Amino acid sequence: MSGAAAPGGGASRCGRAGREDGSGSVVLLGVVAVALALAVAVAGLGGAVAARHRAQAAADLAALAAADAVLGRAGSGRAGAAEACARAARVLRANGAQGGCAVAADGTVRVDARVRAGGPFAALLAGVPARAAARAGAAPAGPLPP
């Protein structure tokens, strides 16, 4: 008999078949890299959504506080636009937001809020703040619709 057969009766593992050893490790490494990239992207998206919710909450609260001042419900009588917007600015700061305020002639207040995303993946958002707007004021006169 010649030495061509390997022990156990099979063909020997030389030639091309030997070069594929470890290819499963490379594929596994690729799968792990893709999974990690996906996890980082999902975490960044979660941070953006959370920042958007914080911005909306800050805008809502600030608009309500400013409308309260304009309508005289804050306890110190009716306030002007400057005092109402100052009150909105304090509420925005207390909620970690920045923004602006405008009071219309009918007493309706509009507040715009901006919040920077925080957390370990905030750099993924490249410093783009989450934005939200809210409006508050007196209800229209007359009966409510059914």
**Domain boundaries, position 109:** 25-136
For the chain, which ranges sit under pLDDT 50? Answer: none
pLDDT for 139 equals 77
| Residue 58: both structure tokens together | 């800050």
Residue 38 phi, psi (nearest 5): -65, -40
Residue 52 phi, psi (nearest 5): -65, -40
Distance between CA 121 and CA 116 in Å, rounded? Answer: 12
Domain assignment present for 50: yes
Q: Render pLDDT for 110-133 as a digit per residue (tens, 0 to 9).
A: 999 999 887 766 666 677 889 999
Lookup result for tokens 């030495």: 3
Torsion sign, CA atoms 77, 80, 81, 84: negative
pLDDT for 6 equals 54
Label residues 17-28 b or e (16+ Cβ within 10 Å = b): eeeeeeeeeeee
Domain assignment present for 53: yes
pLDDT for 5 equals 54
Domain assignment present for 3: no
Domain assignment present for 101: yes
Domain assignment present for 129: yes
Domain assignment present for 61: yes
What total number of domains does the chain contain? Answer: 1
Distance between CA 58 and CA 64 in Å, rounded? Answer: 10
pLDDT for 76 equals 60
pLDDT for 128 equals 81
Lookup result for tokens 């030639």: 15
pLDDT for 111 equals 97
What pTM, to 2 d.p., does this model score?
A: 0.69
Domain assignment present for 75: yes
Distance between CA 93 and CA 88 in Å, rounded? Answer: 9
Domain assignment present for 45: yes
